Structure 1
Amino acid sequence: MNTEQILMEIREANLSYLMLAQSLIRGDRDEALFRLGISEETADLITTLSPAQMMKIASGNTLLCRMRIDDDVVWGLLTNHGKSASNDSVSRLHASILMAGRHQEAA
């Protein structure tokens, strides 16, 4: 993949992210704040963006969203290496609880 292809993928990801974020915020604001890991102020700003503004913001070469999982424990729970399917849902629940706690700390 060359540089131009990577930049095109970033722009597409940015636009998809902004459209998803706006839709989630308008649908269920509290859930959107949790799922997106954003502040009230950011949600207010995203909600008011026009399609033209979203296109302009998305056209940059910087990825707007980021990985929120920066903890080896959470990655271990999500990837669930070598565990049975019955433990999979428990591992995902534990990961969700850890990430929810971090969202509350950040708020």
Structure 2
Amino acid sequence: METTQILAEIREANLSYLMLAQSLIRADREQALFRLGVSEETANLINALTPAQMMKIATSNTLLCRFRMDDDLVWGLLTNHGKSSANDSVSRLHASILMAGRHQEAA
């Protein structure tokens, strides 16, 4: 993949992420803080962005969003490592609880 194409895809992902984040924040602020893993201050900033500001920020060559699964335990729960599908919902619930706890610690 060429560098110019990668940068174009990063810009597109950034704009989509900003639009989704702003929409979530405006629809249900508390849920947005949890789902996005952002602070109250960051949510205020995203909420106040104009379309022109979002376009400008989106043109960065760095992804604005990041993976929140930083350890093997959460990745293992999400991927199930070959376990039966009967445990799938329990594993996902466990992963969600772990990530929610980390969100609370960060806030």
TM class, shorter-length: over 0.9
Query: What residue is the counterpart of 1:73 in the other structure?
Result: 73
- In structure 2, stretches of 5+ residues that fail to align are none
Give 1:60 deviation, angstroms: 1.0
Give 1:76 deviation, angstroms: 0.2
Give 1:106 deviation, angstroms: 0.5
Q: Give the TM-score normalised by structure 2.
A: 0.99
Q: Which amino acid aligns with 1:53?
A: Q
Query: What residue is the counterpart of 2:56 in the other structure?
Result: 56
CA RMSD, 1 decimal: 0.5
Residue 24 in structure 1 maps to residue 44 in structure 2: no
Query: What residue is the counterpart of 1:15 in the other structure?
Result: 15
Q: Which amino acid aligns with 2:66?
A: R
- In structure 1, stretches of 5+ residues that fail to align are none
**Share of identical aligned residues, percent?**
83
Q: Give the TM-score normalised by structure 1.
A: 0.99
Measure, in 2, the Cα distance between the counterparts of 1:95 and 1:36.
Answer: 15
